[in-house]
Structure 1
Amino acid sequence: MLFQSKIFRGDRVIWMVLLLLSLLSLLIVYSSTGALAYRQASGNTMHFLVRQVFFLGAGLGLMLVMVNFLSVKIYSILANLLVYISIGLLLVSVAMKFMGLSSGSGRTLDLGIISFQPAELAKISLILFTAKVLGKYQKSKGDLKKAFLIIISHAAVVCGLIFVSDFSTSALLFATIFTMLFVGRVPLKFLFIVVGMGVGIIAFTYFLASQFPSAPARVHTVKGRIDRFINGDPNSEQGITQADYAKLAIYEGGIFGKGPGRSDVSNYMAAAYNDFIFAIIVEEYGLLAGIFVMFLYLIFFFRSVVIVRRATRTFPAFLVTGLTMMLVFQAMINIGVSSGVLPVTGQPLPWVSLGGTSLLFTSVAFGCILSVSYQNQINSEIQKPPIQVNMPDEDFEMNK
């Protein structure tokens, strides 16, 4: 069997979940990128499918390398270096944005040979760093306080830099770190302080946008999303918003869907292949398929819980906790936005949405989790008592 080989090591259930999500990704990306292909690829509808195959394959290959050749200790060793590299890249990205040297929202850093979003590296780096600090300071309340101060100071810098161009990713990362602090037994009084600070920052941002029209554009974006979620989007009266199209796709999909490749709404949505891909899944394959997708992420979550419980050291346990919560939160946000439960944000569906380097960073997260699960398997084999063979008396006499 494929997943019984010595190549696909680690939790076999998670490997199966990734395989199923990969197949779903190829089907839905090919279907939802038709209009995009005519805009950007001269009508070549195979262009984005081939692109997705390449990045999914590269991501799976990267996971195999991580599981088979990299020790979990390496992630702990690299944690500090990576978080400071991330801060440096975020600073460069922000500087380029304010100098007008970056295009679009300023999330992408173009290095010539390769372009990527520094926030994707920062998410994984900060989780690695948080797991390392929590694992190191667990012996006393003083240690936990010290861990809290170290983590929250770094999180404030990283999330603050991401906030400049991407509020939703900043909030997602901060929520993940907060969850890790809670799991890491940080005193509740410190966590309440963090919650208060978070609410205060959002309230201040909203007030700043209301009172100062010249405030940065990202501040007004946050206020606009809050207003549209509470009061409704004025454009909804005309039924032309992305959220309206997503609701229409889910409504037209019904229980069993319209069939593969028969999505109409994807031709009118700007982000049908990314932020609203869950709605297109339901439109083509029905509500049952949507429930199945959510079930796959739940399976991944519960298997990750098993990995955490079997971990024999604190760093791997906190690492899997953080990466799992980040991926699950991201999936919940994408599904919530597509169904109209949450305000519109820019979070893709992990391992399903169309992606480039972002898929590779997602594969790093999965690779870390699978590496820890494989290390757990090795530890359990080492701890097994040796098998004792009881020889019959006559055989014993013959062997004397």
Structure 2
Amino acid sequence: MELSVGKIFKGDRVIWMVLMFLSLLSLLIVYSATGALAYRVASGNTFKYLLRQVGFLSAGIGVILLMVNVFPIKLYSKLALWAVWASIGFLMFAVAMKGTQFVSTSGRTLNFFGVTFQPAELAKISLIIYTARILGKRQKTKGDLWDAFKRILLFTGAICGLIFISDFSTSALLFATIMTMMFAGRIPLLYLFSVVGAGIALIVVIYFTADILPSSFGRVQTMKGRIERFADKDASTKQGITQADYAKLAIYSGGIFGKGPGHSDVANYMAAAYNDFIFAIIVEEYGLIGGTVVILLFLIFFFRGVTIVRRATRTFPAFLVIGLTLVLVYQAMINIGVSSGALPVTGQPLPWISLGGTSLLFTSVAFGLILSVSHQNQKNQEIAEQPLMIKAPDEDYEIENEETSK
């Protein structure tokens, strides 16, 4: 039985263990945090969202297993450019059809015949794969690096710009990931600092002109308001208790050991308890110890990602794991930072723990790619460790060789 499980769950075993622990924690905390939502929406059926989360987690693990066992790594490199163009198409459609029956009023979610998904999630994975492909192919000369920088920057600007219209935090998250990948890919610091400086200047201009910009420009007013409430704590209290305040209350009341599973009070009146602020509910129920365990799990995942990169024998898989590991760790840091009050409020779920949806499925794609690279590394190592099979010389050949020498 052990051998058969090992043949199916291929790749880094530590990452698989991290996923199993995160899955268990996800089911416990989602069931607890969706109680109030169940009474508001599902007529008190508290098992509805638990079963929903079980379904998404099972589908996510199925996606990972399919990717690790069936599809080769080189396939994703070939599809990278097509996926990027598809992402741009979906994002442009979301901007153009915002508020219609096909796109939500926020502009984040597409709806095709009852099937919903967020194009920004597809764009994140696609752009990281494309960046890894370009960096992997252009590493020999300064001209290669300059060409790689131009190509990556072109698509990064287009995709992050389109995402920015409806989702500033995801745009910033993806931009930071791509910049870090290019730094790891030996792109000159002068190029990177120039882009980062231009990006910061643009954000500053948008912030100070947010009040006069039209509503069609995006959620800039919301972004500005959140930054101001974060910077001016006293002003935020005048507007009433916010979700950020509830999150702080949950963390404070959790203490060291927590209130126990299912005993969260804040989850009953905080709207995003099962998503954007789920880390606060974890601390409330499981205390500082539970929150530390979550952070340690993501740190373990990060260091295993570094190990996979170091063992990679080719550049594309190495850069791919760098990008995917960073985007998941960055996202977890943002969610934890927002819940604890260290960062302004954003809409980033905690990877693999928050209530499932397209975000969880695309997270499973990221894990599937990382584990696929890990499995490929293991196969390469096994091949390298195999002794050279030297065939014993044939006796007839020896006799013939001796007669010829005579």
1:258 aligns with 2:287: no
Question: Partners of 1:182 and 1:103 in 2: how far apart?
Answer: 36
Letter in 2 for 1:373: S
1:338 aligns with 2:313: no
1:347 aligns with 2:345: no
Q: 1:388 to 1:142 in 2, by over 3 A?
A: closer
| SS of alignment partner, residue 98 of structure 2 | helix
> Aligned residue for 2:187?
186
> Aligned residue for 2:401?
none
What does residue range 1-400 of structure 1 map to in structure 2 within 5 Å?
Answer: 1=2, 5-97=6-98, 102-212=103-213, 216-232=217-233, 234-237=235-238, 240-386=241-387
Letter in 2 for 1:60: I
Letter in 1 for 2:162: L
Letter in 2 for 1:207: F
| SS of alignment partner, residue 220 of structure 2 | helix
| SS of alignment partner, residue 110 of structure 1 | strand
Q: 1:362 to 1:229 in 2, by over 3 A?
A: same
Q: What are the superposed Cα offsets for residues 337-361 of structure 1, whole Å, 9 maximum, x if unpaired?
A: 0000000000000000002122111
Q: What are the superposed Cα offsets for residues 217-239 of structure 1, whole Å, 9 maximum, x if unpaired?
A: 51211211221122236342475
Question: Partners of 1:46 and 1:358 in 2: how far apart?
Answer: 21
Q: What are the superposed Cα offsets for residues 250-283 of structure 1, whole Å, 9 maximum, x if unpaired?
A: 0000000000000000011110000000000000
Percent identity over the alignment is 68
Letter in 1 for 2:131: T
Structure of higher CA gyration radius:
2
CA contact under 8 A between 1:351 and 1:362: conserved in structure 2? yes
Question: Partners of 1:3 and 1:51 in 2: how far apart?
Answer: 28
Q: 1:150 to 1:226 in 2, by over 3 A?
A: same
CA contact under 8 A between 1:155 and 1:174: conserved in structure 2? yes
Letter in 2 for 1:204: V
Q: 1:374 to 1:277 in 2, by over 3 A?
A: same
Number of residue pairs matched by the alignment: 389
Alignment gaps of 5+ in structure 2: 391-406
Question: Partners of 1:228 and 1:5 in 2: how far apart?
Answer: 50
TM-aligned CA deviation for residue 72 of structure 1: 0.4
Question: Partners of 2:70 and 2:162 in 1: how far apart?
Answer: 33
Q: What are the superposed Cα offsets for residues 354-379 of structure 1, whole Å, 9 maximum, x if unpaired?
A: 02122111000000000000000000
| SS of alignment partner, residue 186 of structure 1 | coil
CA contact under 8 A between 2:104 and 2:110: conserved in structure 1? no
> Aligned residue for 1:395?
none
Q: 1:3 to 1:117 in 2, by over 3 A?
A: farther
TM-aligned CA deviation for residue 191 of structure 1: 0.5
TM-aligned CA deviation for residue 155 of structure 1: 0.3
Question: Partners of 1:29 and 1:278 in 2: how far apart?
Answer: 11
Question: Partners of 1:4 and 1:112 in 2: how far apart?
Answer: 38
Question: Partners of 2:161 and 2:78 in 1: how far apart?
Answer: 25
Letter in 1 for 2:47: M
Q: 1:187 to 1:370 in 2, by over 3 A?
A: same
Question: Partners of 1:271 and 1:212 in 2: how far apart?
Answer: 28
Question: Partners of 1:248 and 1:113 in 2: how far apart?
Answer: 37
Question: Partners of 2:102 and 2:54 in 1: how far apart?
Answer: 32
CA contact under 8 A between 2:102 and 2:111: conserved in structure 1? no
TM-aligned CA deviation for residue 240 of structure 1: 1.3
| SS of alignment partner, residue 107 of structure 1 | coil
| SS of alignment partner, residue 272 of structure 1 | coil
Q: What are the superposed Cα offsets for residues 129-160 of structure 1, whole Å, 9 maximum, x if unpaired?
A: 00001111111111001100100110000001
TM-aligned CA deviation for residue 113 of structure 1: 4.1
Q: 1:233 to 1:206 in 2, by over 3 A?
A: farther
TM-aligned CA deviation for residue 76 of structure 1: 0.3
Letter in 2 for 1:22: S
CA contact under 8 A between 2:23 and 2:57: conserved in structure 1? yes
Q: What are the superposed Cα offsets for residues 18-58 of structure 1, whole Å, 9 maximum, x if unpaired?
A: 00000000000000000111111111000000000000000
| SS of alignment partner, residue 210 of structure 2 | helix
If the length of structure 2 is used for normalisation, what is the TM-score? 0.92
Question: Partners of 1:238 and 1:88 in 2: how far apart?
Answer: 39
CA contact under 8 A between 1:127 and 1:319: conserved in structure 2? yes
Q: 1:351 to 1:101 in 2, by over 3 A?
A: closer
CA contact under 8 A between 1:258 and 1:286: conserved in structure 2? yes
Question: Partners of 1:162 and 1:238 in 2: how far apart?
Answer: 29
Q: 1:357 to 1:77 in 2, by over 3 A?
A: same
| 4+ residue segments displaced more than 2 Å | 1-4, 98-104, 210-217, 232-239
Q: 1:207 to 1:326 in 2, by over 3 A?
A: same
Q: What are the superposed Cα offsets for residues 157-194 of structure 1, whole Å, 9 maximum, x if unpaired?
A: 00011111101000000000000010000000000111
Q: 1:212 to 1:359 in 2, by over 3 A?
A: closer
Letter in 1 for 2:50: L
Question: Partners of 2:108 and 2:4 in 1: how far apart?
Answer: 37
CA contact under 8 A between 2:165 and 2:218: conserved in structure 1? no
Alignment gaps of 5+ in structure 1: 390-400
